[in-house]
Amino acid sequence: MSPPAKPFPSAAQDVSSAARHATDTPQTADPAYRLAFQDTDFLLREDLRPVRFQLELLKPELLLQEAGVLSTFVFYGSARIPCVADAPAIVAGTVGKGRVVAARLAAKARYCEEARALAAMVSAFGTATQTPEGRHFVVCSGGGPSIMEAANRGAADAGAPSIGLNIVLPHEQAPNPYVTPGLSFQFHYFALRKMHFLLRARAVAVFPGGFGTFDEMFELLTLIQTGKIKPMPVLLFGRDYWHRVVGWDALVEEGVISATDLDLITWVETADAAWAYVRDWYAMGDNAEASA
């Protein structure tokens, strides 16, 4: 015997019913009469911000659960680094000081290739160890171009799904074409986006980047340093770059971090080295699942 139906109609059924029985009166025409969850003006009120926070946390969480995403391998990095094929043209199209900057960006193009290769390795492992409950090490990026696109493309190369966490910005931004459509999310709040980067993360690859990459990387390091999250592999690609732009040793010399805090970082230059480190960290054999 089937269990009894739920006693109340669903929200969707209520919406349909309200539409069928709609009348045109001053009362029904006023915004006050709208169903609260259909009233965009109401949901966008300043005092509804806590509700919007909850919605932005819940929507990706529920969809990721339904997609069977058990853990993620997160990729951070610049949106400005060109791919190898485009690098020469970018340098050739600039002059003066701009050409010097373009040449420096072009020199980092190889990191797009490393991101793509690492994402393919990670995704192949996720496919090989997938269970009915879901898959581990699903590639997760910010959903944009450059390093992010390379990561999602690497997952696509392996025939695997990948996540894109886009953010609404003043300038135009769209998901790169390699993000799995059903795992492509858009955020208004940076704080909620950063939470979703790390809620399922089991390893993070950080490529050369600017303010956004710094923000994400240092928050991750702070969370591990303070014991808010469990330690995990934090793989920094491009030691020369990071030592040029961050005075790591100076932070220790100034006493604002401990020398042991630098042990939270693992320096790598290639996808092979990064993946080997993660496999050693989790003591993963060929058919082992990632430790939660």
User: Is 108 contained in some domain?
Assistant: yes
Four-residue CA torsion sign, 22, 27, 30, 31? negative
Task: For residue 116, give the nearest of 107, 128, 124, 105 by alpha carbon.
Answer: 124
Sheet containing strand 234-237, edge to edge, reads 184-187, 162-167, 138-141, 72-76, 201-206, 234-237, 266-268
User: Is 58 contained in some domain?
Assistant: yes
User: Is 140 contained in some domain?
Assistant: yes
Structure tokens at 147: 């390093």
For residues 138 and 129, the answer to whether their CB atoms sit within 8 Å is no
* CA pair distance 209, 141, nearest whole angstrom: 13
Determine how β-strand 266-268 pairs with β-strand 72-76.
unpaired
The segments of the chain whose pLDDT lies below 50 read: 287-292
Quick one: pLDDT at residue 172?
62
Structure tokens at 26: 């001053």
Quick one: pLDDT at residue 291?
47
User: Is 178 contained in some domain?
Assistant: yes
Domain membership of residue 165 as a residue range: 48-281
* CA pair distance 72, 289, nearest whole angstrom: 12
- Identity (one letter) of the amino acid at 80? R
Count of the separate structural domains present in the chain: 1
* CA pair distance 28, 21, nearest whole angstrom: 11
Instruction: Give the pTM.
Output: 0.91
User: Is 69 contained in some domain?
Assistant: yes
Which residues are 186's β-sheet partners? 166
Where would I find the H helices in the chain? Answer: 11-20, 26-29, 40-43, 49-66, 87-92, 96-107, 110-128, 147-157, 190-199, 211-225, 239-245, 248-253, 271-281
Which residues are 74's β-sheet partners? 140, 204
**Domain with 251 in it: what CATH number?**
3.40.50.450
Quick one: pLDDT at residue 286?
53
User: Is 80 contained in some domain?
Assistant: yes
User: Is 43 contained in some domain?
Assistant: no
Four-residue CA torsion sign, 249, 105, 101, 197? negative
Q: Encode burial over 174-206: b for 16+ CB neighbours within 10 A, e otherwise.
A: ebbebbbeebbbbbeeeebbbebbbebbbbbbb
Span 93-130, pLDDT tens digits: 888 888 999 999 999 999 999 999 999 999 999 999 99
User: Is 12 contained in some domain?
Assistant: no
